[in-house]
Chains A and B, each alone.
Chain A
Amino acid sequence: MAELDTSGGGKHKGGKIRSKKASTRVDLTAMVDLAFLLITFFMYTTTLSKPKAMNLVMPNNEDKRAQLPIAASRSMTILLGSNHKLEWYMGEAGKTAPTVDNFGAKNIRKAIFDNKQKVADTHSGEEKLMEVVLKPSDKSTYADLVAILDEMKIAEIHIYAIVKISQLELDDLKKNGLQ
């Protein structure tokens, strides 16, 4: 897009030869082209979605004084199995048959919310809060662990811990083909 010379040519007929008055305007087209090219480059190379962090607090197993018993009536245990599946049960292991469930809003999230409501309805005072015990098996993935910790945040469960899975629970996972 070169600038057109619209000043009309023609030779000077006689008289003084005047020096041509040069326009002070600079053609910026090339500069703008270059600037946008670089903008495009930097836009593509910068990572706009910065990684986010999830904070996790693990219990100190050595500090015996800080260990409190878990009330069976208001505790939910979630077992993470293989193939992104899980099992959950309320109360003590072996007494209630675990339910096999999937991740997602309609499955485990709904179960957590339902159980939380049930606990809140049947308890009073400080005991209204449900406790969740998370037990990842050796076949579960890191993504499962993060997903279930995320559910804790979504369901606003404040009391939860990651605990080692027991043989009884492993056997049950195996029975349901999740191990």
Chain B
Amino acid sequence: MPRVKVARKSTAIDMTAMCDVAFLLLTFFILTAKPKIDDPSHATVPFSTYMIPVADANMITIAIGKGAGRDAPFFAVSEQDVRREALTAMGQKYGVSFNAAEQQRFSVTPIFGVPMSQLKSFLDTEPAQLKNFVQTGIPVDTTNNSELFNWIFVSRQAEVGLHQKLLNVSIKSDAAELYPMVNEVISVLAKQKLFKFDLITQMKTASDK
């Protein structure tokens, strides 16, 4: 009797489909990936059940977190041209002139927290050394002429001038921040007749605890 011959099969698997899927997913993740902004305020936002997504454009974000040792506000505006315009306007107000390189640096700085007196040296610092630059936060008080007040004001002016739009304001504060600091920022906004704004939170479900 002849032996039954078992056909020798190749051990190679067709990977075409797997490869297709892998690259499809890869493309998806690359396109949806957003570079993480290095936030100097290190604010850990509290939880809430609100589900309104935070807008990406036309936003002023006031982050409140630990500046160097004390709680301090940080300022961020989403549009690059608005940043540039706001810097020029602030420079005129406080008598500081910025050269083209500094303006360029400022327009690509997503968030900062330095007083006007230190802003020039902040913008002159090499990007690699920026981590060591101690950001003390933007000075804020109850008057109508604090630096935070003016930053918000000139940014809103610039936005209206450049895009004929109104900027939305959101507050991104650290969960452990005490109320007086938050209240101070809210009253700065109220002085500019800004009564509607967003508080940035993380999502959780209502059934907690």
Contact = CB atoms under 8 A, between A and B. Distances in A.
Interface stretch (B73-81, B90-98, B126-134, B200-208): B200-208
A150 B207 CA distance: 12
B10 A142 contact: no
B32 A142 contact: no
A130 to B, nearest CB: 19
B3 interface: no
B4 interface: no
Interface in B170-197: 170, 172-180, 182-183, 186, 189-190, 193, 195-197
A137 B180 CA distance: 8
B57 interface: no
Interface stretch (B21-29, B109-117, B136-144, B154-162): B21-29
Contacts of A3: 10-12
B50 A60 contact: no
Interface string B13-26: 00110110011011
Contacts of A4: 10-12
Chain B binding surface SS class: mixed
Contacts of B124: none
Contacts, number: 162
A35 B23 contact: yes
Nearest to A147: B46
Contacts of B201: 51-54, 146, 150
A104 B45 contact: no
B206 A154 contact: yes
B19 A55 contact: no
B70 interface: no
A167 interface: no
A68 interface: no
B54 interface: yes
A168 interface: no
Contact of B195 (A27, A57, A145): A57
B196 A57 contact: yes
Contacts of A142: 46, 64, 173-179, 182
A52 B178 contact: no
Contacts of B190: 58, 60-61
B30 A54 contact: no
A52 B205 CA distance: 13
16 contacts: A1-B12, A3-B10, A4-B12, A25-B12, A35-B25, A35-B26, A39-B26, A43-B29, A53-B198, A56-B196, A61-B190, A104-B209, A105-B208, A142-B178, A146-B201, A154-B49
Interface of A: 1, 3-4, 6, 25, 27-29, 31-32, 35-36, 38-39, 42-43, 45-47, 49-61, 80, 104-106, 136-147, 149-150, 153-154
